[in-house]
Structure 1
Amino acid sequence: MTTAAVGMRGSLPPMPERTPKALRAAIEQHTPKLLPDFDRNWREKIADTYDLAPLPAFMARWWAEFALARDPQLEAMVHHLEDEAAHATDNAHAKSLVEQAGRLRREASKAQPGQ
């Protein structure tokens, strides 16, 4: 299943090149609500430490965050599932909801540059 099959939306902003600079520019342009957290996380994990070792994990996290946030309907669905799971009284049902949200997040994060 592709991201297009998951989301219930029209035209989405394309995924940027897979570089921190391009990802930041895409976040700034299309999902500015994420920008303060992106910049703070960049400073904490990369800039202030002068350590590039965490860069792959940083990019994976923020690639997935942007992929989800660029589709407001998909993002709302994932958050609804997570909220419902947090309030579920049945563990099996809560687990099912969290797994469903996780699958949607993983699927969105598979988007490639230009998609």
Structure 2
Amino acid sequence: MTTAPLGEETPVPPMPERTPKALRAAIAQHAPQLLVDFDRHWRRDIADAYDLAPVPAFMARWWSEYALARDPRLETKVHRLEDEAAQEPDYARAKALIEEAGRIRRSAARAEPGR
């Protein structure tokens, strides 16, 4: 895997292949704080399943989580927006903050393998 530059700062690791095994390895290497929850979710919903229907939803969730976590600057921005929204007394302003955080999350989740 190569790394893509993040402005003038730390390189952001590329997205892995779109498989559970590759995603888990990337999380373990670049966002280990997510690993316990990833593994717990895997064991609870996927590992012993006789139906693979939940796998796409599992991958979508964790793809998105990793896409954000691999870029600490972006992750910090999203969490700051969400925290501000939680404290904002003005409903319209809180809604705008949450919508902005959601746009950033969705954009990060669209990252393709290798990018």
TM-score strictly above 0.5: yes
Gap regions ≥5 residues in structure 2: none
Q: Give, as a single letter, the amino acid of the residue that structure 2 aligns with 1:78.
A: V
Q: Give, as a single letter, the amino acid of the residue that structure 1 aligns with 2:92.
A: A
SS at 2:53 equivalent: coil
Identity of aligned residues (%): 68
- Other-structure match for 2:14: 14
1:114 aligns with 2:80: no
Measure, in 1, the Cα distance between the counterparts of 2:105 and 2:50. Answer: 30
- Other-structure match for 1:80: 80
Q: Give, as a single letter, the amino acid of the residue that structure 1 aligns with 2:103.
A: R
String of CA shifts for 1:56-87, please: whole Å, max 9, x gaps. 00000000000000000100000000000011
Q: Give, as a single letter, the amino acid of the residue that structure 1 aligns with 2:95.
A: K
Q: Give, as a single letter, the amino acid of the residue that structure 2 aligns with 1:65.
A: E
- Other-structure match for 2:31: 31
Shift of 1:52: 1.1
String of CA shifts for 1:13-44, please: whole Å, max 9, x gaps. 11000000000000001100000000000011
Shift of 1:11: 1.4
- Other-structure match for 1:60: 60
Gap regions ≥5 residues in structure 1: none
Measure, in 2, the Cα distance between the counterparts of 1:35 and 1:25. Answer: 9
Q: Give, as a single letter, the amino acid of the residue that structure 1 aligns with 2:35.
A: L
TM-score by length of 2: 0.90
Shift of 1:49: 3.0
